[in-house]
Amino acid sequence: MERLIGKKAPWFSMEALAADGEHFTRVSLSDYEGKWLVLFFYPMDFTFVCPTELTAFSDSRERFAQAGAELLCVSTDSVYTHLAWQRNGLGKLGYPMGADQTLKVCDSYGVLLEEEGVALRGLFLIDPEQKVRYSVIHDNNIGRNPDEVLRVLAALQTGGLCAAGWQAGEETLHPQIPEQLPAVGAAKDVPVQIYTMPTCSYCRSVKEFLRDAGVAYQEFNLEHDKAGQAFMKDRGYTGLPVTVIGGEEIVGYDMPRIKAALGLG
């Protein structure tokens, strides 16, 4: 199977039972643009392992919402079977259940068991730019743990290097830049601050660029930092990130201006 990590997520559009558990709708990849998506496949309705993990994700949906992530589960059952299951034993989940009756979505994500016409337990984290950042596919006898998915999601959202067993709130790894490889051009002499949110993919991209260029910066996490929140409010900024380079305030993902301000253009 062709790798998906780092690539644009395969397009999908399919019928679904809506999050309210009462109405039918359609879901497509474009519905989740600008958000993190937890897309997970399971083999079929009215089985044994599946309800344990579907309800576990349901119980954790507020934590996923706080992390800026949407949930979408998919099987090859029809929306009518999804509805019957929720009304007869499963209960309402609070997130949509996709119905991939054509098998095309399962196939494009590499989880289709062709001989059975059902999906393996595949799970994919898709970032706000709709790139696949994480995937795991395993045997259908084993259910998944939402806590581990939340841990990986939090790690991806740091934009940094996370050690084995890393937990949300812990420091990421900060490799030392070798002394024989100083920052390029004027960048090393320019004070840099960056105002970010954990769920912002543009923020992560700018930070990665600064690190790769050897540029030290001070980060203000707008989720918690009061001074950073006041800065944004006073100036009326809504775009992210805001990168301040030597007094120049650059709003949004404007890499040409950032490079020029650092003398790296």
User: ∠ CA(188), CA(218), CA(223), 5° rounding?
Assistant: 155
Token code pair at residue 150? 């939340």
Q: How far apart are CA 157 and CA 154, in angstroms?
A: 5
Beta partners for 249? 244
Q: How far apart are CA 101 and CA 16, in angstroms?
A: 11
Q: How far apart are CA 54 and CA 49, in angstroms?
A: 9
Residue 153 CB contacts under 8 Å (≥ 6 apart), including other chains: 36, 38, 64, 67, 69, 125, 134
Token code pair at residue 125? 């984290």
Question: Which candidate in 50, 106, 162, 200 is catalytic?
Answer: 50
Residue 50 catalytic? yes
Q: How far apart are CA 164 and CA 166, in angstroms?
A: 5
Q: In what order do the strands lie in the sheet with 248-251?
A: 218-221, 192-196, 242-245, 248-251
Beta partners for 244? 193, 249
HSE-CB at 119 with a 13 A cutoff on CA atoms is 32
Q: How far apart are CA 12 and CA 88, in angstroms?
A: 28
* Residues labelled catalytic: 50
